[in-house]
Amino acid sequence: MAHRSMSRRARACALVTAVSAVMVLGAGHAVAHGGGDHPHEGSPEAAEVSEKKVAKEVDPDEAAALGQSHAEEHARLRIAADKTSDYPQTTRTNRLNWLTQDQKTKNAKFAAGKFGKFTDYFPSPDYGVHIAQLPTGKILVFSFEPVEDNPTRETAPTQLIGRENAGRAYLWDPEKGTGKDAFRAVPPPVIDMPDGRNEPRPAPFFCAGHSFLPNGMLGVFGGNLGGNGGSGAKLALIFDPFKEVWLRQPDMSVGRWYPTVVTGADGRQLIFSGQSERGWGTPTEIVERFPARNHPVLTDGSVQPRPNVPVDRFAADAPFHNDYPHAFSLRDGLIYTFGRDSDQQWKFDPVAGTRIGLPNRPDKPKGRKTLRGERFYGSAVPLPNGLRGPDAVLQMGGDPSDPETYLFKDGSWTKPGAKAFGRTQDNTLVLPDGTLFTVNGSPDIRDYGNGPYNPNADQKYRQTELGDKKGNWRLGPVQRLPRGYHSNAVVMPDGRIMITGDELQQIANDPDITDDMHGAIEIYEPAYLHRGKRPHLGDAPDSILRYRKEFTVGTDTADAVDRAVILAPSTSTHSVNTSQRHLELKITERADGSLKLKAPPSAKDAVPGYYMLFLLDKNGVPSTAQWVRFGPPQGS
């Protein structure tokens, strides 16, 4: 049975944090953050109970560590928590039934050939706080072990230390369908975290940062050490998608909770920001790099990295005020970072080891009334740039009062066009045909429009948005669940979109909270899958393709192919997706049963690694992709 409520001690920790925050902030709104103890108005205060009952509830360990009076206060809070009502299965079932019918009714007016269509909806064994489209075709989903199944309470183990603060991961194989047998557990290494509890458990890597290495493996850095509003773990892990195992590497020099990781043209990953091991409110300025300079870049997927490959410290620091900045490697080979604060915009030179300032983002309109005064968990994408790598980034979301989009190109910012409404926690994807698709969103963290920890949502945030190449946006069909914080989406090799995440909404709408399928996945088919027969793509080279060189692919529809494009597999969490990349490939020769294509110009244009290759007809209908990989890394 998977039904698991948060322990009394864990619930007390969350309540203590909430009450403390409310005391500090007074009658105003509390500031919500990252993956755990989000305080909010109306947090329960200590119950009026007898001293006898309090004495019985006091935890001796807490009394020894914190003092008797502090332990008694925790006891009162636990008693208050135990009086809160549970969340009945009937409510979950009624909610899901209503959302299912409402989606069907609202989407009846959207023609699939123009707006796309939502199709499959099925249970998953994981919440999908983190997802990655792997070059094997499978999708990795990972998060944390359940500690709470009441969506009106905090669902993540941010404040916990010890064995309850643990990670978990699964692989979904779309070729096996949508049933339970299509998922396989791939748990992270069991680690005795440095939290003083001496309780080894699967590595708590949730709220880490990640990007792909040139060999197709996924580098995952950071995680949750627990306590103090969320403390950063020093974890450095690699997931090998070919052998389907996790590999632990030497720890980073600093803990990181909510870091960003991006892969550059040299094939090395830069790791930015994240709350340190000291706890929430201590974002690190240290930038680290993997693998370290004196270690080779990992390019062969058949060879696992040695267990002693470390990070090293990058020469320049990155003093972000907030975590999870957006970061992209653009066609000049530099890493562009876009912080949540308007004045936190920089580019980094991986070769020179320097940081260079960028203009402030012009997104602070007069009268803005957001709590933080800055963008918070909005999406960003590097825009397609034809045969060359991206040289522009479009940033949007992160502020429910601001529907504008912000384009950074040629060293300056413009506003190319507004969306229908502002939202946070959104995910925006570049599709094979070069258009954009926005899904998920909410007004704020754990707030869907009716206050924190109330799963009843403002229904407009379920509506998707479709963006064309000219910067125009239009509303599209609605998704089944409202998904905000911890929601994610990726493009699959068959051109469909896989959507998951937001554990609060998943448990609030779980058709059976007693089973082991805690999450839910939804599939969206873009309009191009409803415009006729797809082009055919047959064999493609499985060796590393050199930049500027020509290569041949098989196709039975050579005359029908209008374009060949490559799309990088993406990996997403907290509205951050640093791996997205879309390039066109020049078609140099057509023959009966084949096409000759030309590889991208350089590693700066197409970061070394795996890509999904699509052939498209004149209507933008894509083939099913084949995997190709480009290299070597810059400087090799």
Give the pLDDT mean for 82-96: 84
Would you say the pTM of this structure is higher than 0.95? no
Nearest to 310 by CA among 325, 295, 299: 295
What is the pLDDT at residue 49?
60
Separation between Cα atoms, residue 518 and residue 149, nearest integer Å: 9
Indicate the average pLDDT of the chain: 90
Q: Tell me which DSSP letter residue 415 carries.
A: -
- What pLDDT, in 10s, does the model give residues 547-580? 999 999 999 999 999 999 999 999 999 999 999 9
Q: Tell me which DSSP letter residue 187 carries.
A: P
Q: Tell me which DSSP letter residue 556 carries.
A: S
What is the pLDDT at residue 46?
35
Nearest to 226 by CA among 274, 260, 194: 194
Nearest to 563 by CA among 537, 590, 536, 584: 584
Distances (CA, A) of 15 to 32, 73, 137, 234: 14, 11, 42, 27
Q: Would the pLDDT of 371 be above 70? A: no
Residues contacting 172, CB < 8 A, separation 6+: 124, 138, 139, 141, 182, 183, 498, 521
Where do the domains of the chain lie, and which CATH numbers do they carry?
A: 91-530 (2.130.10.80), 549-630 (2.60.40.10)
H or E segment and range at residue 81? helix 68-82
Give the largest Cα separation in the chain, rounded.
87
Separation between Cα atoms, residue 280 and residue 21, nearest integer Å: 13
358 φ, ψ to 5°?
Answer: -115, 160
Structural Rg of the chain based on CA atoms: 24
Separation between Cα atoms, residue 634 and residue 407, nearest integer Å: 27
What size, in residues, is the chain? 636
How much of the chain exceeds pLDDT 90, in percent?
83
What is the pLDDT at residue 16?
44
Q: Would the pLDDT of 32 be above 50? A: no
Cα within 13 Å of Cα(527), Cβ side: 19
User: 630: helix, coil or strand?
Assistant: strand
Q: How confident is the model at residue 23 (pLDDT cuts 50, 70, 90)?
A: very low
Q: How confident is the model at residue 33 (pLDDT cuts 50, 70, 90)?
A: very low
Q: What are the DSSP calls for 475-511, one per residue? A: EEEEPSS---TTEEEEE-TTS-EEEEE-HHHHHHT-S
Q: Tell me which DSSP letter residue 24 carries.
A: H
- What pLDDT, in 10s, does the model give residues 212-239? 999 999 999 999 999 999 999 999 999 9
Query: What are the beta bridge partners of residue 624?
Result: none
Q: Tell me which DSSP letter residue 447 carries.
A: B
Query: What are the beta bridge partners of residue 184?
Result: 171
Separation between Cα atoms, residue 422 and residue 399, nearest integer Å: 6
Cis amide leading into 241 (omega within 30)? no
Contact 220, 238 (CB under 8 A): yes
Contact 215, 298 (CB under 8 A): yes
Nearest to 324 by CA among 438, 436, 221, 444: 221
- What pLDDT, in 10s, does the model give residues 178-218? 999 999 999 999 999 999 999 999 999 999 999 999 999 99
User: 451: helix, coil or strand?
Assistant: coil
Cα-Cα end-to-end distance for the chain: 52
pLDDT-wise least confident of 19-28, 59-68, 268-277, 580-589: 19-28
3-state helix, strand, coil in the chain (%, to 5): 15, 30, 55
Q: Could you count the other beta carbons within 10 Å of the beta carbon of residue 76?
A: 21
